[in-house]
Amino acid sequence: MDDASDAASSKVAQTEQLAAGMPFNPTKAGEHGFANGAMPQAGVTVEPASRLPTGSTLSEANGSAKTGSVAPDGVNATIDSLDRVRVDSAGQTLTTNQGVKIADNQNSLKYGVRGPALLEDFILREKITHFDHERIPERIVHARGSGAHGYFECYDAATDLTMAAPFREAGKLTPVFVRFSTVQGERGSKDTARDVRGFAVKFYTDEGNWDLVGNNIPVFFIQDAMKFPDLVHAVKPEPHHQMPQAASAHDTFWDFVSLMPESTHMLMWVMSDRAIPRSYATMQGFGVHSFRMVNEQGSSVFVKFHWTPKAGTHSLVWDEAVKISGADPDYHRRDLYERIESGAYPEYELGVQVFTEEQAEEFSFDILDATKIVPEELIPIRPLGRMVLNRNPDNFFSETEQVAFCTAHIVPGLDFSNDPLLAGRIHSYVDTQISRLGGPNFHEIPINAPLAPVHNNQRDGMHRQAIPRGKVAYEPNSLAGGCPFQAGAAHGFVSVAASISSKEAQGKVRAKPEKFADHYTQATLFFESQTPVEQDHIANAFRFELSKVTVPAIRERTVAMLRNASEALAAKVAKGLGMDTLPDPLPKAMPDVPTPEVLKSPALSLLHRPGDGSLAGRKVAILVAPGVEGEFVLAAQAALLKQGAVARIVGPRIGPMATAAGDALDADASMENEPGFLFDALILADGALAIAALAQDGHTMEFIKDQFRHCKPILAVGESRQLLMKAGLPISMDKSLAQGGTGLIVAEAGAGDGAMDAFIEAMARHRHFGREMDPPLL
Ligand code: HEM
């Protein structure tokens, strides 16, 4: 007998021994009854005598450069860190996908230099074929997005609330990947559309991936997943002419929402400046639905997740957003990328509102209704940790485009509520990703693979990466010693045995809970909690959007709906639309609503969270032309850099110029390639020749007017105030440092540090809405 047949007979014998080690399925009896269901048992395993009986083949030890060696015990190498798939071509020659070195990458193969191209050109054909298939379907919603890597750091153990891995101990770090997005537009659409922003975070926890797939607005348009396709069909470009792109200002959206009064609360948020954030780093994030947290003892509470940006909540104004969308459709993508590359890492605090089922029963609203918030004045936010985004993806497609978030991805210590919108989402994401990412194995795409071990009996399918060892792909089994075996309650995920509390027993039904019918109380709460400036912006946004609606009946229906939330708002919008008389309010689904606990919630105002006052990541333009006071320009640039801001030297043209002192100064941007509205603030330097040149350039006036109109800080030094006057700014030229807190600082030549300090202070306050007018003065 040779070695191979020895091994074969050993394998037969050991296989028999392994199978005999499990004469019956000992966990079977424990699969029955409610109590067993709540505490599932761990699976049973039998140790094989050697690795022989569990291997796929007898030849597995015959290694090569390709096969490598035998799979180490219990290892799934497809989940190793992303290093395993990183590619760096430095110093390498060009090859085909089969590793054949390519001698000539310039010409196709022809019969003679002027002859016909040949079909046998496998190099050309491979290249073109791969190119032909470079695109994958874009996401059905949230197609436009940008991503970043980072980490979540736990402040203190939150084990009283949850056993979820990221919250187990103080200082614990969990890697994350985040994707921010707009909802309506296609993949190449502009970043600054008026829209909800997606805020999706994948936590690569020790116990599997947890995706918190949220938005920057804590409520949603609809209450039941049944209406999601209708909502999306209504807001996406209209099917007959595929317009408008990335915009809700059109007939079908307002037709739908004005027939769905539960959307009123969400509409308030979407018409507010929340829907045009300044940066992904300056917006909040919310889990939206009520979730559960479960601790080791198995007791659970409800939670609502909140992300709060360290830089504060700051937004654009509408006129600015419209202009930016033309000059830089990648505005938010660029901002995120540049912040991270420059070390101004976006940071957010994660907190939860915690409440029990009993508390929830007493609330005036239903916590399963995604159109309702839990006011912070009712249940405060408990901080749990912070997230820092500190690494840009190496490759947009491989990471940001192929990442697959899913609300179904939760880990032990977390669970769902019965929110009917959430239930639909739990199904939807995997379902859509199967077609978007080309089959059921997209969890193996490196960005999606967890760090936690993955072992199961799923097999085959398109693009399978893993090469499982052995012949067993089912459970229970005895031929692989029972492996992989079920973890049981001690280590595995167990759903909370939530019972449905209702006054009378209910059966299958298609209906909403009663309190879902209160469509307006929280819309009123939101509007009443805004500052007057924010209320004006909301009214103006309704006016703009509805002015794009071509059907008067839809405009009237919307105003009729608004009357139930705020008579003042409805009247203002109606006036803005030229309606002489107000339509009757829409009939209410619930005429007598429970008394709300909170009537005003300052926390709902964007201005409530100004942030840490840092200028990190902000952009300032210093306008220059030949003859400018160069010393001041460089000193101002250095002072801003020290604050973490980026100061660009913007001239009529890019390139070198001579300063008043005859030194060389380089303009790194031009007023043409970086118009004024792309900057957070403006500095006009002194220098007679420069001022004369800038005064002759129409771009200068647009630059100044936009900065003024968008309420951003402006510093004018010395004679450059003449430019402000030429642009028509309504300022008195009294040469005082700051003009009544309006963010306009007109300083004497040589005012030096004092002027810069006042300017930096004005920048820390971002916008100076005191000078805003409707219609705008300039
Ligand atoms: C029943 C209601 C909903 C359904 C059926 C639904 C469905 C979807 C689908 C199919 C995608 C594309 C996923 C992909 O291709 O990878 C998506 C993306 C997304 N959804 Fe929803 N959605 C719903 C409601 C919501 C709500 C309420 C939120 C916010 C809490 C939300 C947040 C997101 C985010 C952030 C993304 C983008 C994820 C990414 O960056 O890849 N969705 N949704």
Render pLDDT for 586-599 as a digit per residue (tens, 0 to 9).
Answer: 999 999 999 999 99
Q: What is the mean predicted confidence (pLDDT) over 411-416?
A: 98
Q: What is the mean predicted confidence (pLDDT) over 672-689?
A: 97
Give the Å distance between the CA of 454 and the centre of ligand 1: 25
State the pLDDT confidence band at 312, using cuts at 50, 70 and 90: very high
Name the residue with the closest Cα to ligand 1, atom 28.
Answer: 214
Give the Å distance between the CA of 439 and the centre of ligand 1: 19
As a whole number of angstroms, the distance between CA 503 and CA 35 comes to 24
CB burial readout 133-142, b (16+ within 10 A) else e = eeeeebbebb
Name the residue with the closest Cα to ligand 1, atom 5.
Answer: 425
State the pLDDT confidence band at 525, using cuts at 50, 70 and 90: very high
pLDDT at 378: 98
Among 639, 110, 211, 666, CA closest to 416: 211
Q: Are 234 and 251 in contact (CB under 8 A)?
A: no
Element (H, E) at 424: helix 420-436
Give the Å distance between the CA of 141 and the centre of ligand 1: 7
β-strand pairing of 681-684 with 619-623: parallel
pLDDT at 201: 98
Q: Are 603 and 353 in contact (CB under 8 A)?
A: no
Among 188, 176, 369, 424, CA closest to 285: 176
Asked if residue 503 has pLDDT above 70, the reply is: no
Shortest-distance atom of ligand 1 to CA 213: 35
For ligand 1, pick from 138, 142, 177, 332 the residue to mutate: most ligand atoms within 8 Å of CB.
142
**C-alpha 303 chain-centroid distance:** 20
Asked if residue 562 has pLDDT above 50, the reply is: yes
Among 521, 536, 245, 301, CA closest to 415: 301
Asked if residue 2 has pLDDT above 60, the reply is: no
Q: Which range has the worst mean pLDDT, 318-322, 526-530, 531-535, 774-778?
A: 774-778
State the pLDDT confidence band at 1, using cuts at 50, 70 and 90: very low
433-488 pLDDT per residue, tens: 999 999 999 999 999 999 999 999 999 999 999 999 999 999 999 999 999 999 99
As a whole number of angstroms, the distance between CA 63 and CA 54 comes to 18
Give the Å distance between the CA of 456 and the centre of ligand 1: 27
351-408 pLDDT per residue, tens: 999 999 999 999 999 999 999 999 999 999 999 999 999 999 999 999 999 999 999 9
509-521 pLDDT per residue, tens: 999 999 999 999 9
686-741 pLDDT per residue, tens: 999 999 999 999 999 999 999 999 999 999 999 999 999 999 997 764 444 444 46
Q: What amino acid occupies position 323?
A: K
619-662 pLDDT per residue, tens: 999 999 999 999 999 999 999 999 999 999 999 999 999 999 99
Q: Are 147 and 178 in contact (CB under 8 A)?
A: yes
Name the residue with the closest Cα to ligand 1, atom 16.
Answer: 404
Give the Å distance between the CA of 302 and the centre of ligand 1: 22
Q: What is the mean predicted confidence (pLDDT) over 105-128?
A: 96
Q: What is the mean pLDDT of the chain?
A: 95
For ligand 1, pick from 213, 283, 417, 418 the residue to mutate: most ligand atoms within 8 Å of CB.
213
Shortest-distance atom of ligand 1 to CA 404: 16
Active site residues: 142, 215
Among 531, 614, 608, 172, CA closest to 350: 172
Q: What is the mean predicted confidence (pLDDT) over 743-761?
A: 88
Asked if residue 124 has pLDDT above 90, the reply is: yes
Shortest-distance atom of ligand 1 to CA 422: 1
Six-digit token string for 320: 């600015």
Asked if residue 4 has pLDDT above 80, the reply is: no
Name the residue with the closest Cα to ligand 1, atom 6.
Answer: 425
Q: What amino acid occupies position 715?
A: L
Among 471, 468, 478, CA closest to 70: 468
Q: Which range has the worst mean pLDDT, 18-27, 606-615, 736-745?
A: 736-745
| Helix, coil or strand: residue 239 | coil
| Helix, coil or strand: residue 69 | coil
C-alpha dihedral sign at 188, 190, 194, 200: positive
| Residue 339 vs residues 279, 385, 391, 519: alpha-carbon distances, Å | 10, 21, 10, 40
Name the residue with the closest Cα to ligand 1, atom 3.
Answer: 425
Other beta carbons less than 10 A from residue 241's beta carbon: 7
Give the Å distance between the CA of 221 and the centre of ligand 1: 13
For ligand 1, pick from 136, 231, 428 the residue to mutate: most ligand atoms within 8 Å of CB.
428
Give the Å distance between the CA of 644 and the centre of ligand 1: 34
Q: What is the mean predicted confidence (pLDDT) over 211-231?
A: 98
| Helix, coil or strand: residue 677 | helix
Six-digit token string for 420: 């009917």
Q: What is the mean predicted confidence (pLDDT) over 303-326?
A: 98
pLDDT at 736: 43
As a whole number of angstroms, the distance between CA 742 and CA 283 comes to 24
| Residue 176 vs residues 142, 152, 205, 210, 407: alpha-carbon distances, Å | 19, 7, 9, 9, 15
For ligand 1, pick from 425, 426, 432, 442 the residue to mutate: most ligand atoms within 8 Å of CB.
425
Shortest-distance atom of ligand 1 to CA 179: 40
Q: Which range has the worst mean pLDDT, 113-127, 291-305, 764-778?
A: 764-778
Name the residue with the closest Cα to ligand 1, atom 27.
Answer: 220
Q: What is the mean predicted confidence (pLDDT) over 294-319?
A: 97
50-97 pLDDT per residue, tens: 999 999 999 999 999 999 999 999 999 999 999 999 999 999 999 999
Residues in contact with ligand 1 by the CB-under-6-Å rule are 139-142, 145, 179, 181, 198, 200, 213-215, 220, 225, 228, 288, 370, 403-405, 421, 424-425, 428-429, 432-433, 436
Which are the contacts of 455, defined by CB distance < 8 A and separation ≥ 6? 74, 76, 483, 484
CB burial readout 611-639, b (16+ within 10 A) else e = beeebbbbbbbbbbbbbbbbebbbebbeb
Element (H, E) at 151: strand 145-154
